[in-house]
Amino acid sequence: METVTRVVVIYIFIMIGLRVLGKREFGQLSPLELVTLLLIPEIVAQGLVREDFSLTNAIVGISTLFGLVFLTSLVMQHSQKAEEVITGKPTLLVYDGDFIAESMNRERITPDEIYTELHKAGLFKLSQVRWVILESDGKLAVIPKEGQEPAGNPRAQDDVLV
């Protein structure tokens, strides 16, 4: 039972630490995926290098981890509040062509990072942007103002089949 308790404590500690660090620190991975990737090698290492001769202990640890990941995903699926606590909420960084400095500072996003995403979206001026949102997964979403078409993308024509 000691192994199960240790895995639960470490799991909770890592989840809290990842939330404190912020969305942008780990890019494509969700907090659940990252915690799982960090813990699996640590849990099985002792059983593999024979410091702990009980392979059963490693299997119990991994089973506990998988159970926690499964339970966390169920809680997130059934509770919007729990999902916000675990994965965070999207953050508005630009509104109607103006930076929101407080949000940018809190999320540690620089104007250069936003301009890079604007350019990827085919926009070149902040005035062309309605919103830039830092999504829960750490990606920046750029929403242009109405009538602003990204460069290089021809305007879609209605009722024209190609």
pLDDT of residue 153 exceeding 70, the answer is no
Q: How many CB atoms lie within 10 A of CB 134?
A: 26
Q: What pLDDT, on a 0 to 100 scale, did the predictor assign at position 49?
A: 53
pLDDT of residue 103 exceeding 60, the answer is yes
Q: Average pLDDT of 133-139?
A: 85
- First vs last Cα of the chain: how many Å apart? 65
Q: Rounded to the nearest 10 degrees, how much is the dihedral formed by the CA atoms of 136, 73, 41, 20?
A: 40
Q: Where are the domains of the chain?
A: 2-87, 91-144
pLDDT band of residue 68 (cuts 50, 70, 90) is confident
pLDDT of residue 46 exceeding 80, the answer is no
Q: Average pLDDT of 78-82?
A: 91
- Domain 91-144 is classified in which CATH homologous superfamily? bsu07140 like domains (3.30.240.20)
Q: What pLDDT, on a 0 to 100 scale, did the predictor assign at position 47?
A: 57
Q: Is the pTM of this model over 0.75?
A: no
Q: Average pLDDT of 80-87?
A: 85
Least Cα distance to 9 among 64, 63, 48 occurs for: 64
Mean pLDDT for the chain overall: 77
pLDDT band of residue 160 (cuts 50, 70, 90) is very low
Residue 66 tokens, joined: 């998988």
More confident site: 143 or 136: 143
